[in-house]
Amino acid sequence: MKPGLKVFVSLLLTSGIFCLGIAILDHGRSGKWLSSAGLMFDIAGIAQLDIVGFFAEILTRYGDETKYPYGPPSHITRRIIDNPDTPVRNWIERTLYYDHQTGFYLIVAGFLLQLAGTWR
């Protein structure tokens, strides 16, 4: 896990949401803010895909059912499950830092926001 990237993704998502909020409130220049929000979400999506190991071999290694018929080793499972007393935080962390589909959806949202900003 790359802890610096977690902070980077959090900052990008926060700034993207901030830009989106300004775009909603400021109708005169909303195109620039929508495009900025889209770029933030795109970069966050790419970084999030790197966090979850989409670009690395980890998905292939632990997806081998012949080598791991009962799922990944327990030390990997413990990192995913974390603390059962905080289900909302666990869901957010699992979604942002372990689910490879989240990065794809962030990139799609970024492209759509950039498209909306371009034509606004």
Range of the domain at 11: 3-113
Is residue 45 in some structural domain? yes
- 120 belongs to a structural domain: no
Kindly give, in sequence order, each residue whose CB lies less than 8 Å from that of residue 60, ignoring residues fewer than 6 positions away.
none
Vertex 29 angle, CA 8 and 19, to 5°:
20
CA distances in angstroms from 79 to 14, 23, 52, 57, 93, listed in the order given: 24, 37, 12, 18, 10
Number of domains in the chain: 1
Q: Is residue 54 part of a domain?
A: yes
CA-wise closest residue to 94 among 109, 79, 116? 79
Task: Please indicate, yes or no, if residue 105 is contained in any of the structural domains.
Answer: yes
User: Could you report the per-residue pLDDT of 30-77, keeping only the tens digit for each?
Assistant: 788 888 888 888 888 888 877 777 767 655 766 666 776 666 666 666
* 8 A C-beta contact, residue 44 and residue 13: yes
- Does residue 17 register a pLDDT over 90? yes
